[in-house]
Structure 1
Amino acid sequence: MSTSANDTSTTYIQTNFDPTSVYYIHPSDANTMQLVSVKFNGHNFNNWKRYMILILSAKNKLGFVNGTLTAPANNSPDYCAWERCNSLVISWILFNLDETIARSVLFLKSARSIWKDLEERFGGSSITELYSLEQELVEISQNSQSVSDYYTKLRTVWDSIDDVNPIPTCSCEKCTCDLGQKFLKKQQEQRLLQFLLKLNDKYSAVRGHIMMMQLLPTVSQAYRLVAQEENHKDLSQLSLNTEIAAFVAERRNYGMHNS
C-alpha cells in the first residue's frame, strides 16, 4: 500500500512535534547557536568533543553524529524529518567551529560525515598534547591557593590526560588477570603522590598520616582529609584572631580607664 503525500506530511508534522521523538525540534533549537564557550580552532579537540556530545545528547540529537541513527530511505515518511534535523545539527557543528575549519567541512552532506572527518583529523592521541598536559601537571603547586582550588586544577589536567591517553582495556573478553583494574590502581597511587607532593608544608602532618595508612586512600579521600585539616586550621586561626582582638580591646579600655 503506497503512502500518499498527505500521509507523509502528517507523519512529518507529528514526528517533529513529538517531544519524545529524535526528530523533535524545540522552537529555541531552530536558531543557530554557539553551544560551547570556545569554538574549536584545531586545539583541545577532545575537550570540545566532550562538550558537544553532552549538549547533543541533552537535545536528543547525538544519533546524528555517532552513527546510531542512519538516514531513512528517500521515500520513507521520516525522511523529511531526518533531513531537517540533519541540517540543523550541521548548522550547530559549523557554528561551533573556527571559520577556517568550518569551511573545510562545509560541503559534506551529513552531520555524521562532518563528525567523522573531524575525529579522523583531530581526534587521535597527540604526543604533543600529552607532553603539554604533563608539563602543566609538573608546574602545578598549591602555593597560595586553597586546597579546593589546588585539587580542582589537578583534576582538570588529570581528566584531560585520561581523555588523550586513556587506560588500556581488554577487548578479547577472555582476560582473567583484571589488567585494567591494576592499571587503574597504579594510576590512583601515582596521582595520590602528585597531590600530596605539591601541598604546602603546613599540611605535612596530615600528609604523613595519609602516607602511613596501611590501606592507601583514593585521591578523593585524601583530598577530603586535607580539606578537613584546612577547615580546622582556618577555625583555629579565626578563634585566635578573635581572642587577640578581645585582648587588645580590653587593654585599650583598661588604659583609658586609668588615664
Structure 2
Amino acid sequence: MWQSLKGRFSVTDATRLHQLHADITACKQEGDTVEIYFAKLKVLWDDLADLAKGFACYYGSSSCASMVKYENHLEKIRIHQFLMGLNTIRFGTARSNLLRRGTDLNLDAVYSQITQEECHLNVMR
C-alpha cells in the first residue's frame, strides 16, 4: 500500500526540475519591489541548486576550472532571468544599459544597479 501511495504522489527530480524552470520563467516583478521580486527568484534558484548538489568537480576541488566556468555560466543565466522579469516600463532603459556592458556583469552588481534605479525612480515620483 505504501509503495502504491509513494508511486502515486511522489514528485520525481525531473518533475521538480521542470516545475522550477517553469516557475523561474514565469516569475515577474509586476507590482513587487525589486527586493521582493529578487527574493522570490532567489528561493527558486536555491531550490534548483539543491537538485544539483551532486554536481561537483571530478577532482573534488572547488577551484576546478570546469566548476568555475559552470558557476560563471550559471550566474549569467541568473542575470538574464532576473532582468527578463523586471517591470519593462520602469526598468527597460536600465536593463538595456546593463546588457550593453556585456560580459563584465555579475549578479550582485546588476541587483545593486537596479535597486539604485528603483530608488531614483521612487524619488522622482
2:100 aligns with 212
Structure 1 runs (4+) deviating above 3 angstroms are none
Shift of 1:214: 4.3
What CA distance in whole angstroms lies between the structure 2 residues aligned with 1:127 and 1:178?
Answer: 27
The answer (yes or no) to whether the contact 1:188–1:218 under 8 Å persists in 2 is yes
1:165 correspondence with 2:52:
yes
Q: What is the TM-score normalised by the length of structure 1?
A: 0.41
What value does the CA root-mean-square deviation take over the aligned residues? 2.4
What is the match of residue 132 of structure 1? 19
Gaps of 5+ in 1: 1-99, 101-121, 238-259
Q: Choose 1 or 2 for highest CA Rg.
A: 1
Higher-RCO chain (CA-CA 8 Å, sequence separation at least 6): 2
What corresponds to 2:91 in structure 1? 203
Percent same amino acid at aligned positions? 23
Once the two structures are TM-superposed, the CA of residue 168 in structure 1 deviates from its matched residue by 2.5
Residue number among 108, 114, 120 corresponding to 1:226 in the alignment = 114
Quick one: structure 1 residues 209 and 167, their matched pair in 2 at CA, closer, same or farther if it must change by over 3 Å? farther
Aligned residues: 114
- Taking the aligned partners of 1:178 and 1:164, their CA distance within structure 2 comes to 22
Structure with a larger share of its residues in helix: 2
Quote the residue 1:180 is aligned against: 67
Structure 2 residue identity aligned to 1:149? I
Letter in 1 for 2:106: T
Mapped partners of 1:219, 1:160: distance in 2: 18
Secondary structure of 1:141 counterpart: coil
5+ long unaligned stretches in structure 2:
3-9
The answer on 1:236 being equivalent to 2:124 is yes
Whether contact under 8 Å (1:130, 1:165) holds in the other structure is no
**TM norm structure 2:** 0.80
